[in-house]
Structure 1
């Protein structure tokens, strides 16, 4: 990949209540930049989050003509090399760092990559803890395939913004989709900084899948207990949703509770090369009117 880097409560025994554990806030956030004047929503949202959590911020630009390159095609191409304009890259890097400073970000860096977006995010995922990008960074179904490749390859938590997202307020009403899967558990764990900062968290409990024989002896994750231990009081909402309509039902519940963020696991189905993420995830990605936090 070719880049240019420019007052405690007393306990019954008289002891003090132990302080709640602090969630691991993302130390490094990467935002996919698609425009610089003005900066696109992914950059603005990522900068606000980095300022709130005092995280390091990376702005990454991939030219639109290169974003869908995958596999052998993702090697730096002649077109990519022709797009290499060091002077412009340097100027944009300077502008990005100045913008990040104005937002209160402690440190920012700028990367211009001359290869496909999937490969770029896989690489950046090795040392970043959150990616922020917009749903229309690539066309149509290509986003689901791209994210599937990235999420399955490096498990990089991703915040996906709907087109034209322009809300500046922090995420205050969060809907968490839970079905007992490992993916949903990872999503809750990774989203703790968002959940701890929200005014209301609703746990949409779709029921647990039947455990195979022998798994009853494994430890079970209890989402309400886990979140309570992190100071999060979630409102329960139990539903029975057929798999074929899960995506639409989830978005309907998000509208009902006024959620401005959806947290869910990116569920894998079938063979990796046939379908990287499941139909519910695809539906939510394609139709959500609020940001979606995904974790595989």
Structure 2
């Protein structure tokens, strides 16, 4: 995990998402890219516009872009002060989800933050980003960010394809933990049309990567999984929860599965999602 990108929701201060991303990058000795994205002035243009209005909207966009571009040096200096040796700043114009999907292609991890007052960071937009970006995403909760630690980590495990992908994506983080706990829910066959002998063994897989995890069963109904996951992560004082982001179907991936949706909207700790 060498390249971390964080969505900077403004460029005058560095909010929770940027703080978490910077501290994580320093801990992992990774590079950090701050990405500020603003909408095209075309989005703000009404159907019937006067030349004066078009000029005003265009001028506003130019001012915003100039201010964002000028934030490169302050961001890099701030990241260096946070212990990040390699930092970069990029400014994009366009739809937020499209821009993040694009910039994600040359990074290993995307850091987002959840905030009820920001339209894009509330349902369904945050869910769309998590499912569409094609990259592991750490979603930072509204609570203040303290020191970033990876000492104790919880993994939501049910054997699904999404859970396997999440564990694989989180390996560099899990290898730094002094304690890893598998929170085991009802098993889901990841390969329903294929039979493997022996079947995939998560404990053996982790052990091959130097991770010695202990297991804890989740005794709950399907519609309680999200709530129970967060309760157990809280009892463990976990620094990070790792879980697969599950869409309801292949044809409507914007609609999250119940456990994923609950954790995404209610987690009080950072959560690594992988679709």
TM-score w.r.t. structure 1 length? 0.79
Q: Which runs of 5 or more structure 2 residues have no equivalent in the other structure?
A: 46-56
Question: 3-state DSSP class of the match of 1:60?
Answer: strand
Q: CA deviation at 1:227?
A: 1.2
C-alpha displacement of 1:44: 1.5
1:144-182 Cα distance to aligned partner (Å, 9 max, x none)? 533443344342110001013321131221110000101
| Count of residues in correspondence between the two structures | 262
Partner of 1:43: 18
Shift of the 37–171 alpha-carbon distance from structure 1 to 2, 3 Å rule, reads: farther
2:113–2:121 contact (8 Å) kept in structure 1: no
- Runs (5+) with no aligned partner, structure 1: 1-25, 67-73
In the alignment, the residues of structure 2 paired with residue 49 and residue 142 of structure 1 have an alpha-carbon distance, to the nearest angstrom, of 21
Paired position in structure 2 for 1:205: 184
| 2:164 counterpart (185, 190, 200) | 185
Q: How many Å apart are 1:142 and its aligned residue? A: 5.9
Matching residue of 1:123 = 102
Of stretches 204-213 and 238-247 in structure 1, the one that deviates more from structure 2 is: 204-213
Contact preservation (8 Å) 2:112, 2:140: yes
Structure-1 residue corresponding to 2:3: 28
Aligned partner of 1:77 among 30, 36, 43:
43
Q: Distance in 2 between matches of 1:215 and 1:175?
A: 29
Q: State whether residues 226 and 263 of structure 2, in contact with CA within 8 Å, keep that contact through their aligned partners in structure 1.
A: yes
In structure 2, the CA distance between the partners of 1:268 and 1:176, relative to structure 1 (3 Å rule), is: same
Question: In structure 2, what is the Cα distance between the partners aligned to 1:38 and 1:212?
Answer: 46
Cα offset for 1:127?
0.8
C-alpha RMSD of matched pairs (Å): 2.6
TM-score (norm 2): 0.84
Give the conservation status (yes or no) of the 8 Å contact 2:143–2:268: no
- For the pair 1:165 / 2:144, whether they are aligned, the reply is yes
Q: Does 1:282 pair with 2:261?
A: yes
